[in-house]
Homo-oligomer: A and B are copies of this chain.
Amino acid sequence: MKLYDLTLSGNCYKVRLLAALIGLPLELVPVDFLAGDHKRAPVIELNPLGQLPALEDGAVVLRDSQAILVYLARKHGGEAWLPTEPEPLARVMQWLSTAANEVQHGPADARLVDKFGLPLDKPSTLRTSDFILPLLDRHLATRDWLELGRPTIADIAVFPYVALAPEGGVSLDGYAHINRWIARIKALPGYVAMPGTE
């Protein structure tokens, strides 16, 4: 199973993290992002959106970090990381949307501006961060994991760009519940870090 990968991408890291937690070996294919290789073959043929990560598992080709988490969790994680009953599946799904929407356009985009110089609207990324992080902190005030009382791909999808928020100038000081949740994720058996989350 090949992951077209960028070490500094939180979206690629999500996949590497879940694979490590479920003990699944991945063949990493490094893609030179700064050289624009994600916009050229072979990546653009695997993912027409020209985004990383992309996954190739025999004839199965998938784009989008959340979709790849879903695939690995269903194929190799049993019901543990992504249950298939309507309510728990939908509970996890809520956070996959939050990861693709508010977490991406908040702390993740803020980091793209500060760390990679992308010409995005920084004030907008800070407003979105100031919207979602307090809500996340309050959600975690009464629970250890985002849903179902155990780690699921909801946690894996949301974790990277929250943990990396300081790299976009978004402080996590004062978010005590988020910080404890980050520590719990880092304590999971098999956990691997990425640059910026240590």
Contacts and interface: CB of A to CB of B under 8 A. Distances in A.
Report copies per complex: 2
Contacts of A48: 135, 138-139
A70 interface: yes
B71 A87 contact: yes
A64 interface: yes
Interface string A51-77: 000000000101111111011001100
Contacts of A85: 74
Interface residues of A, number: 37
Contacts of A138: 48
Interface of A is mostly: helix
Contact of A74 (B65, B67, B86, B96): B86
Given A90-B62, A90-B74, A135-B49, A97 B98 contact: no
A84 interface: yes
Contacts of A94: 62-64, 67
